[in-house]
Amino acid sequence: MPQFEPQDPDYERRVRASFARQRIMETIGATLQLVAPGEVEITLPFREDLTQQHGFLHAGVVTTIVDSACGYAALSLMPPETGVLTIEYKVNLLAPASGARMLARGRVTKPGRTITVCAGEVFAEVDGQEKLVATMTATTMTIRERPGVSD
Amino acid sequence: MPQFEPQDPDYERRVRASFARQRIMETIGATLQLVAPGEVEITLPFREDLTQQHGFLHAGVVTTIVDSACGYAALSLMPPETGVLTIEYKVNLLAPASGARMLARGRVTKPGRTITVCAGEVFAEVDGQEKLVATMTATTMTIRERPGVSD
Amino acid sequence: MPQFEPQDPDYERRVRASFARQRIMETIGATLQLVAPGEVEITLPFREDLTQQHGFLHAGVVTTIVDSACGYAALSLMPPETGVLTIEYKVNLLAPASGARMLARGRVTKPGRTITVCAGEVFAEVDGQEKLVATMTATTMTIRERPGVSD
Amino acid sequence: MPQFEPQDPDYERRVRASFARQRIMETIGATLQLVAPGEVEITLPFREDLTQQHGFLHAGVVTTIVDSACGYAALSLMPPETGVLTIEYKVNLLAPASGARMLARGRVTKPGRTITVCAGEVFAEVDGQEKLVATMTATTMTIRERPGVSD
């Protein structure tokens, strides 16, 4: 896995402050864990009120946490005075999202001036073991000088 | 747009019953609207507690409703005694998800015995106009004889 | 389908000139057909030497023509003195690519200053009928002032 | 990286025989290299007649080799008397595909009875160094008892 040098020495505080503004995270009960250069982890305890019809977490909930993990992994490498937007992502759902807790990990695959590509994984903690339940590839964009979009 | 013939004459009741079991939908305030052969619509009023850091609906929330719209569009064409699972999807985020209400529409592109591919769109209602904010391509699978996965 | 206004009045000549520089197109025998604002069509007669192991056109060949159709649909709406690059795409393979000729159509879903999103379709001509064999969603980027990347 | 146990002891011969039937590979000059359980590598020397308008290998050519690498990685874990089809893939193009030779590597992320998901990477060999130029996520399907589709 590549090592990245952050352009903003204050990257961790910046990511944590932006995450704190994502009101959805409080609504679903997700917590920001690791913030490292090019890598972010978010956890989500299982909740019945976030499930789909078979009793698993809805794919959209899994996507929510891994999208934020990828977006903030990208932001951790962006220069000061910029913002991050997700342009698109693709998610493969590999196993049912059941288990006591989900761990979403986002990592930068390729940083760039405008486009940063990230890879995400979501693990379910089942009986003390981690099981891979989803993968994401996300394309994010560094936003400069757009009112309302800074992080 | 192609016309589809449902294999299950009871498709609408079946889709509505399955949707009613998606607890996430009640949690976020989404409502099932149209259920037609190969086409489903879901609406979601804007809510501050579902937003990301810039005040727009989080991409994961947008994904949640359009994933269900696509999955149920697929289910509407599946034979009785089967269930639907989403294998993967790809979402492009075209504009910020702001506006009074979101409308997610899922349509079957290609039905199949095992694999059904769907196209989804999400529109934001802004000042009485519809604005396209996201597109989805979803690949779903017809599940036969798997305990816990029937719809 | 939306109507688009080209920013470059010379868009058609520009697309045709760029296509003529894609040496792969001559190699596989593909031909540029329609060039309209936000829409491009490319055809490819079936050839045995482009097949995969079951005798169908290889998915990569199908992708080649629909990627160019999408990229040039995007370019048709870009301002003069810019270039187009594809950032990413997703392809669903819906049916075997067999038949006398393939028709790839790319259309702009959402143009933008930096990012333009396109939808592509590939049809096989089988017994005088068109059969949808693949769909693409492509994200392209307008390139400014990068040596070697202008169209 | 996970270790996989092939279900078909003859997996390598089977993959090599199927690759030999992909006529496109001979046409573009690609060679099958490593065949291991759940992992396949294919190489392609640069050729001017496979380029796009800026002189790089066309994205569709890059896709061709990494799609086959992913598909055969999946096939290497499939039971005897089955065939492999790619349902869909997503490709991110990270850097221009220039350099003396491309190396495409496909690896199984998650094998399954019906659906097997793979991750692919393409590296360009530039001045003796490997540079990542593209990533793929591919969803493949195990085909049973379909005439014309066995590997």
- DSSP class per residue in chain A: ------SSTTHHHHHHHHHHT-HHHHHHT-EEEEEETTEEEEEEE--GGGB-TTSSBPHHHHHHHHHHHHHHHHHTTSPTTEEEEEEEEEEEE-S---SSEEEEEEEEEE--SSEEEEEEEEEEEETTEEEEEEEEEEEEEEEES-TT---
CA distance D91 to chain A (A): 9
Which chain B residues have a beta carbon less than 8 Å from that of D114?
114, 141
DSSP B51: B
> Mean pLDDT over residues C53-71, rounded?
97
- CA atoms of A83 and A148, how far apart (whole Å): 9
Average pLDDT over residues D84-98: 97
Q: Provide the phi-psi class of C55: left if phi over 0, else alpha when psi is between -120 and 50, else beta.
A: left
The predicted structure's pLDDT at residue D20: 98
CA distance A132 to chain D (A): 9
What is the crossing angle of helices C59-75 and D59-75, to 10°? Answer: 150
Residues of A in contact with B88 (CB under 8 A): 90-93
Minimum distance, in Å, between the CA of residue D110 and any CA atom of chain B: 12
Q: How far is C115 from chain A (nearest CA, A)?
A: 9
Assess whether pLDDT exceeds 90 at residue B17.
Answer: yes
pLDDT at residue number B3: 87
Chain-chain contact of B90 with D90 (C-beta, under 8 angstroms): yes
Q: What is the least distance, in Å, from the CA of C20 to any CA of chain B?
A: 30
List residues in chain B touching D: CB distance below 8 A.
Answer: 87-88, 90, 114-115, 117, 137, 139, 141
Nearest CA in chain C to D57: C24
Q: In this predicted complex, what is the ipTM?
A: 0.96
The 10s digit of each residue's pLDDT in A17-39 is 999 999 999 999 999 999 999 99
pLDDT at residue D32, rounded to an integer = 98
Residue of D118, D130, D143, D134 whose CA lies nearest to D58: D134
Question: How far is CA B61 from its chain centroid?
Answer: 12
Mutate which: D26, D52, D70, D87, vs C, most C CBs within 10 A: D52
Q: For D47-65, what is the mean pLDDT?
A: 97
Q: Return the pLDDT at A127.
A: 86
Question: Mean pLDDT throughout D126-137?
Answer: 94
Give the chain B residue whose CA is nearest to the CA of D137.
B88
Sequence-distant (≥ 6) Cβ neighbours of residue C125 within 8 angstroms? C99, C100, C101, C102, C103, C131
pLDDT at D145: 79
- Chain D environment of B137 (Cβ under 8 Å): 88
* Closest-CA distance of chain D to residue A28, Å: 28
| Contact yes or no for A89 and B23 at CB 8 A | no
pLDDT category at C1 given cuts 50, 70, 90 is: low
Show which residues on chain D lie within 8 Å of chain C, measured between beta carbons. 18-19, 21-24, 26-27, 48-55, 58-61, 63-65, 67-68, 83, 85-93, 148-149, 151
Measured between CB atoms, which of C90, C110, C139 is closest to B137?
C90
Given this model, what pLDDT does residue C147 score?
A: 76
Half-sphere exposure of D124 (CA within 13 A, CB side): 20
B41 within 8 A of B6, measured Cβ to Cβ: no
Per-residue confidence (pLDDT) for residue A2, from 0 to 100: 67
Tell me if the pTM is above 0.95: yes
**Sorting pLDDT into bands at 50, 70 and 90, what band is C3?**
confident
Determine, for residues D141 and B115 on separate chains, whether the beta-carbon distance falls below 8 Å: yes
pLDDT digits (tens, 9 = 90+) for B76-122: 999 999 999 999 999 999 999 999 999 999 999 999 999 999 999 99
Give residue ranges of D with CB < 8 Å to any B CB. 87-88, 90, 114-115, 117, 137, 139, 141
Q: Rounded to the nearest 5°, which phi and psi values hold at B102? A: -105, 140
Residue-level pLDDT at C151: 85
Average pLDDT over every residue of B118-146: 95
Q: Which chains touch C (3 or more CB pairs under 8 A)?
A: A, B, D
Contact residues on chain A for D90, CB-CB shorter than 8 A:
90, 137
Please tell me the predicted confidence (pLDDT) of residue D53: 95
Q: Do D60 and C67 touch (CB under 8 A)?
A: yes
Chain C residues in contact with chain D using a Cβ-Cβ cutoff of 8 Å = 18-19, 21-24, 26-27, 48-55, 58-61, 63-65, 67-68, 83, 85-93, 148-149, 151
